[in-house]
Structure 1
Amino acid sequence: MADTDDKRKLLANPLHGIVIPTGLLLFGTWLFSWSYMPYTIAFIIVICSVQYYLATQRQASMHQTIWRDFELIDRTMVAPMTAIYRFKLNREDEVLDIPTGHHLSCVFTVDGKDELRYYSPISNQFDAGFFDILVKHYPQGKVTSKLASVQIGQTVKFRGPVGTLDYKPNSNKALGLIAGGTGITPILQVITRVITNPEDETELKLIFACQTPNQILLKSELDSIAEKYPKLSVYYTVDQPSEDWAGGVGYVSKEMIQDVFGDEKDTKILMSGPPAMKSHVHGLLEELQWDKEKIFYF
């Protein structure tokens, strides 16, 4: 089966799939009879046209620099003012396989001005035919209010991917992941990429901070992953705990970082969250004298 797949890939190469066969066909016609050359050329034009059409159909839906329209096919509320939006790709068998921890740009025209926002897809590299983004809505949010008004069947413009994270499997013994609110989305990308690669033995240690327990986004998904994959551990902390809350309480602290992540020499930290939280965590890591080469902010 592997040998068959290799041959198919070989034929997909323009040199082997078009150039060499065309050359042989022209050479054979020249040897046989020049009178058949017009028919041969017409046949070649038809074959090349078909190959070109098939190539355009295989192109990725998402373009890095060109805005393209994607149809909204589903919207699911997952928390107060927070929803998962599902957009359709051009082909049912296509997957949005973008680099780990990268984002998509979304644009709306508001008051005559283009407003851009960046969202990390939460669908994984095995989800075919669509991609999902997690969006928290704000009362004064220019883009989120526009997104909220989009109806099923209407389109939204995206392009990408965008990002600077260069993740390499097993480049660190452990990853210390810190997320706040919707900042969990690029972190979830990293988690998904690690657990779906059997050769990646990186340990994953997550601190997820939110205001209240019911604002912890994708908690059931994270708990399910942690249950199935021992290399992921999750520590939740909230500012306003409920009576039955059993997790951490308060902002992310130096003690939490030390207790959950352990030795700085073995751990690289990836952090994603609101600007105020990033500034707070940055200060903590400076106090801990964490190696700056082992810190990445989304």
Structure 2
Amino acid sequence: MFARRALRAAAPAFAAGAAACGATTAWLADEADAGMFVVRPGLSASEYKPLVVGGVRQHTDGTTRVRFVMEEPDLELGAVAAAHLMAKASIDGAEVAGRVAPVSPLTAKGYFELAAAAAGDSAMSKAISSLKTGDVVQFKGPVQGFQVGRNQFKSVGILARGDGIADALQVATKLLSDPRDDTEIRLVYSVRSADQIVLRNHIDALALLHPRFKALIVADEAAPQWTGPTGPLSKPLLASILPPPTEGDSTVILVAGDVDAASGKATKARAAGVLGAMQYSPAQVRSL
């Protein structure tokens, strides 16, 4: 499960032992079963740490999924959705740095995975899709983003652009995998072109398995192989899937990636533009 929260620091004697081996340890409880876990974070929030690519998979939907191996098999990220990492690497002699969000469970031990499309707009997306087994990338984090708790909202709308789909799916998967959560989730995933869609198979599977999850993928540009909607993120298009603003505090709209809700172009996400015109209040719009 993704949903976990810190309860208390480890006992002094245990903490001393952890410090001796260079690890920071905390006690965490899973919200689903209230069990106790010992988490050994595999990364540092203040210093970059090199990790090796342990494997690369090419999916039929055009997604490249890259697995990074922790130094020890019981290390993990120690975060809850939504969370991201900072990454930097030298790819073909060029230095690339940026923000990345794991697509594997944040509680996975010994590894985490990133996903990208070769046609992605960002330099990090292109870099990730070019990696090979044995390559080295440096990471620090995780950086904790906005969290949505079990049944905290009646409806969650998610507006994701480009690489922001990873953050969006962290939240969606966390809520959908909780049998005690009833949140309705509506995802709008905006891309420049159809060949930039990442994790299409995963999105389709979530929609098939969970009636409370619905997704709409929108491409800026029309293409021969694309049959979905095209163009900017208009008010009528968003109103067809997002929960209405009239639900008040029981609704939140999460914005992930570089989205401008008025034009669909890559600018800083804001509660203005079409979301404001649809009468969503600033309190109803949060960034992941």
TM-score (normalizing by structure 1): 0.71
Of the candidates 237, 240, 263, which is equivalent to residue 218 of structure 2? 237
Give 2:184's aligned residue.
Answer: 203
Q: Structure 1's 124 and 167: CA in aligned 2 closer, same or farther, altered over 3 A?
A: same
Judged with a 3 Å threshold, the aligned counterparts in structure 2 of structure 1 residues 93 and 285 are, in CA distance, closer, same or farther, namely same
SS of equivalent residue, structure 2 residue 41: coil
From the superposition, tell whether residues 118 and 173 of structure 1 become closer, same or farther in structure 2 (CA, over 3 Å): same
SS in 1 for 2:240: helix
Distance 2:136 2:197 in 1: 29
Q: Which amino acid aligns with 2:280?
A: W
Higher Cα radius of gyration: 1
The normalised TM-score by structure 2 is: 0.73
* Distance of aligned partners of 1:149 and 1:209 in 2 relative to their CA distance in 1, 3 Å threshold: closer
Q: How far did residue 210 of structure 1 move?
A: 2.2
Find the counterpart in structure 2 of residue 297 from structure 1: 287
Paired with 1:245 and 1:142, the residues of 2 have a C-alpha distance of 24
Q: Deviations over 1:61-118 (max 9, x none)?
A: 11111211111112234589963221002333444342212210112479xx986311
Q: 2:99 maps to which residue?
A: 118
Instruction: Summarize deviations over 1:2-47 as a string: whole Å, max 9, x none.
Output: xxxxxxxxxx8445x79xxxxxxxxxxxxxxxxxxxxxxxxxxxxx
Aligned-pair distance for 1:170? 1.8
Residue 241 of structure 2: SS of its match in structure 1? Answer: helix
Q: Which residue of 1 aligns with 2:254?
A: 270
Matched, 1:184 2:168: no
Q: 1:154 to 1:272 in 2, by over 3 A?
A: same
Question: Of 193, 209, 215, which residue of structure 2 is paired with 1:228?
Answer: 209
- The 5-angstrom pairing of residues 128-207 of structure 1 reads 128-136=109-117, 151-207=132-188
Work out the CA distance in 2 between the residues paired with 1:279 and 1:238.
18
SS at match of 2:178: coil
How far does residue 56 in structure 1 lie from its aligned partner after superposition? 7.6
CA distance in 2: counterparts of 1:142 and 1:260, whole angstroms: 31
Cα separation, 2, equivalents of 1:194 and 1:237:
23
**Aligned mates of 1:128, 1:102 — CA distance in 2:** 16
* 1:72–1:177 distance in 2 versus 1, CA, 3 Å: same
Q: Structure 2 regions of 5+ residues with no counterpart? A: 1-9, 26-38, 260-264
- Offset of residue 154 of structure 1: 3.4
In structure 1, how many angstroms separate the alpha carbons of the residues matched to 2:109 and 2:74? 5
Return 155-164 or 136-145, whichever deviates more.
136-145
Alignment-mate amino acid for residue 205 of structure 1: R
Alignment of 1:11-90 (within 5 A): 13-14=11-12, 52-53=20-21, 59-78=40-59, 83-90=64-71
Q: 1:261 aligns with which of 242, 247, 253?
A: 242
Offset at residue 257 of structure 1 (A)? 1.9
- Tell me whether 259-268 or 137-146 shows the greater mean CA deviation: 137-146
Give deviations 1:121-164, integer Å, cap 9, x for gaps: 01013533211112455799766676567542232211101144
Query: For residues 245 and 54 of structure 1, do their structure 2 counterparts lie closer, same or farther at Cα, with a shift above 3 Å needed?
Result: closer
CA distance in 2, matches of 1:236, 1:195: 19
Residues 293, 278 of structure 1: CA spacing in aligned structure 2 closer, same or farther, 3 A cutoff? Answer: farther
* Larger fraction in helix: 1
Q: SS at 1:124's partner residue?
A: coil
Q: 1:144 to 1:254 in 2, by over 3 A?
A: closer
Bigger proportion of residues as strand: 2
- Matched with 2:277 is 287
Q: Which range is displaced more, 286-295 or 237-246?
A: 237-246
1:181–1:209 CA contact under 8 A, matched in 2: yes
* CA distance in structure 1 between the aligned counterparts of 2:134 and 2:90, rounded to whole angstroms: 19
Amino acid at match of 2:243: G
Cα shift at 1:263: 2.0
